[in-house]
Amino acid sequence: MRFSLFLLLSSVLAHASEPASGFRPDKLGEMDAAVERTISEGKIPGGVLWLETRNGRHSKAFGQRAVVPAREEMTVDTVFDAASLTKVVATTTAVMKLHEGGKIDLEEKLVSYLPEMGEGGKAAITVRQLLTHTSGLRAGISSRGDWSGLAGALGEIRKEEPTDVPGGAYRYSDINFILLGAIVERVTGEGLEVFCAREIFTPLGMTRSGYLPKVAADTAPTEKLADGTVLRGVVHDPTARKMGGVAGHAGLFTTAEDLAKFSRMMLSGGGTILKPETVRLMTSVQTPDWLPRRGLGWDIDSPYTGLRGNLLPIGGYGHTGWTGTSLWIDPFSRTFIIFLSNRNHPSGGNSLLLQRELGTLAAQAVADYNFLYVPDALPVDPKKNLPPAVAPVPVLNGIDVLEREGFARLKGMKIGLVTNHTGQDRGRKSTIDLLHKADGVELKVLFSPEHGIRGEQDHEKITDTKDQGTGLPVKSLYGKTRSPLPADLEGLDALVFDIQDIGCRFYTYISTMANCIEQAGKSKLKFIVLDRVNPIGPAVEGPVLTEERSFIATHEIPVRHGMTVGELALMINGERKSGAEVEVVKCEGAGLQWYDRCGLPWRNPSPNMRSLEAATLYPGVGLLEFCDISVGRGTDAPFSLVGAPYVDELKFAGELTRAGLPGVGFVPVRYTPVASVFKGKECGGVRIQITNRDAFRSVDLGVVMASAFHRLYGKQAGISKILKLTGDRPTVDAILAGKSLDEIRVAWEPGLRAFSAVRAPYLLYPR
């Protein structure tokens, strides 16, 4: 009986909230309710919340620590896989500790510490750039292959090349922190886990924190693998796991109480382990003013700071972890909020919206601080969306490379050219003219896609014609037929493709290419792609096509596919087994980045695609094209204006603003299209303003707008018609059922993971 009573009291104490003077009880109740609601929705199995300010502390456990193979109740002392919190709690602190001791110089080059990293353009990268995620390196390395350990990871990184000028762009990257962890080991001559335990965790009394934990009953499990294994006490991140569990980017295990000890150290100016000036350096803005605001390791004001909520002032600092962990420290009110969950257990969930909500409620819960007036806070950054103040990296498209080579690859060939007005070199010379005049190349016939050979027709059918400049026949691929006729290919050795795509599945130029590849395979022709930059970069968004293929849904790819036309050609040919001999004349330079960073001339790819901003918006706004909605065609701002005659612009703009999408704002407007949908009718709606394109997710915007139209205007909007362009019935059903963006995005993840695996062998450029 005594033992049973002891267990009962232990359970109560494990879940009990600490004294909460200094907090508003009603707001603490709302925080608890938000966590419980997220658990009831199946997004996380459980979690631990810890909110602390000068005059109080609120700590509480919720839900289950484990659900398979057996259910276990969550406790406040649960040990969690911290995931990317490792970057700031362990690695950044270790680097700065060594910086204090004069052993690591922030301005020193990476190669000074890791000489083997002097290849492939990495020699210019500094330690500071690694800490601020401005090295230009990709987000991560593949966990596939037969490499292992830190040495194996470094071997993979040696093959990497920066895709941006070091210091010129921001990209959150695990590679940066793998390298930083390696630097710590190289400088100290001991394992990262040993150094962190001795210099950080032990002095702070973080007795439950470290790498390679002994598996205990209070360790939260994470993912259930395909073979049925449930990871417990083993790092979830596959790259860190392959490195043996010790890495600069992931691998730390910790508890809420230990993170609270660490947070108090930071708020106290470093305590016994760091100097106050070091903490100030780490937690103040260290990035150039055209980039998201980051400290050293710590996030301050970037696309990933949603956990700050709507009220905590800009100038605090924090970080999140993929497993569902988060920490935000507000130095102004001396408040910190910790939320730890194992959202991946047993098979994936999402806690992003909860983290944002908890951040807002945390500020509301602190009773003795006015978060609406914080004189020392940073202002909202008006320059987030400016391009970098460095010269663009000159990029050569495929036609430029071919021209530089003297057209040698085409010598002796009779060719057909699939192109339009966007087929041009850096000097705006037409690909048609260049190939027509090239020595040893016999250009026999031209093929034109939608909008015609000169790109001047909108949605009309295109007829066969003759090119005025060369006198060559122009065969339409957007008229009676959308594939080259066998008769038109007779006597040719190759089809050459040179058209500027914009990176969206339902933009039909890639459908034309797919049809040409198929016909080239049947006619035993070589298919040569003059590759071009994807103007909206390598980001991937939205559902993968699950409906039947069509001319606006040419292949099983996401709405925003993040590939070049050359990569798509290789994938489409390979996956469909079209049998064409596909050759890609690759871009040279940093081809997978925003178009305005490539130093290339812009030419409108189609009549309504008039700017890079329009192309950025199109994968989302374009989803509404078949609905009873104006997307700005017939105005001076296609895809930036969205509305309808039945829309109350103030109400609609407010609805979209409340969604809290990062990187975008909405201005209520009225406008009258002179063509297309609602021609001559005044529409209420919004003008969309991109404020931070690196944070902006265009397909998210499309889903939120579709949901708002359906919620506010029902059948008038005809939202069910988005099926043709989303290409995924579950997405449409979820929108019509009123599901949240968070729920819809989670449903996309399996398809996106499968797509990532399928496309991997066909990629030509670093990611």
Q: What is the pLDDT of residues 178-212, one digit of tens each?
A: 999 999 999 999 999 999 999 999 999 999 999 99
- Residue pLDDT, tens place only, 625-650: 999 999 999 999 999 999 999 999 99
pLDDT at 2: 33
Is the pLDDT higher at 701 or at 302?
A: 701
pLDDT at 388: 44
Is the pLDDT higher at 67 or at 214?
A: 67
Instruction: Write the CA distances from 625 to 198, 301, 725, integer angstroms.
Output: 60, 34, 8
pLDDT at 7: 33
- Single pTM value for the model: 0.57
**Rounded percentage of the chain residues whose pLDDT exceeds 70:** 94
**Complete DSSP assignment for 391-428:** PPPP-B-HHHHHHHTTTGGGTT-EEEEEE-TT-B-TT-
pLDDT at 473: 95
Mean pLDDT estimate for the chain: 92
Q: Indicate the pLDDT class of residue 240, thresholds 50, 70 and 90.
A: very high
pLDDT at 459: 57
Which phi and psi (to 5°) does residue 548 adopt?
-65, 145
Instruction: Write the CA distances from 744 to 72, 737, 749, 753, integer angstroms.
Output: 29, 11, 9, 15
Mean pLDDT value across residues 708-720: 97
Strand partners, 528: 496, 583
**Rounded percentage of the chain residues whose pLDDT exceeds 90:** 82
Examine the pLDDT at 174 and tell me if it is beyond 70. yes
Which phi and psi (to 5°) does residue 174 adopt?
-65, -30
Phi-psi region of 210 (alpha: psi -120 to 50; beta: other; left: phi over 0): left
Examine the pLDDT at 590 and tell me if it is beyond 70. no
H helices within 505-643, ranges in order?
509-522, 565-576, 612-621
Q: Indicate the pLDDT class of residue 577, thresholds 50, 70 and 90.
A: very high
Instruction: Write the CA distances from 558 to 171, 734, 736, integer angstroms.
Output: 21, 17, 20
Residue among 293, 351, 330 nearest 45 (CA): 351
Mean pLDDT value across residues 410-428: 96
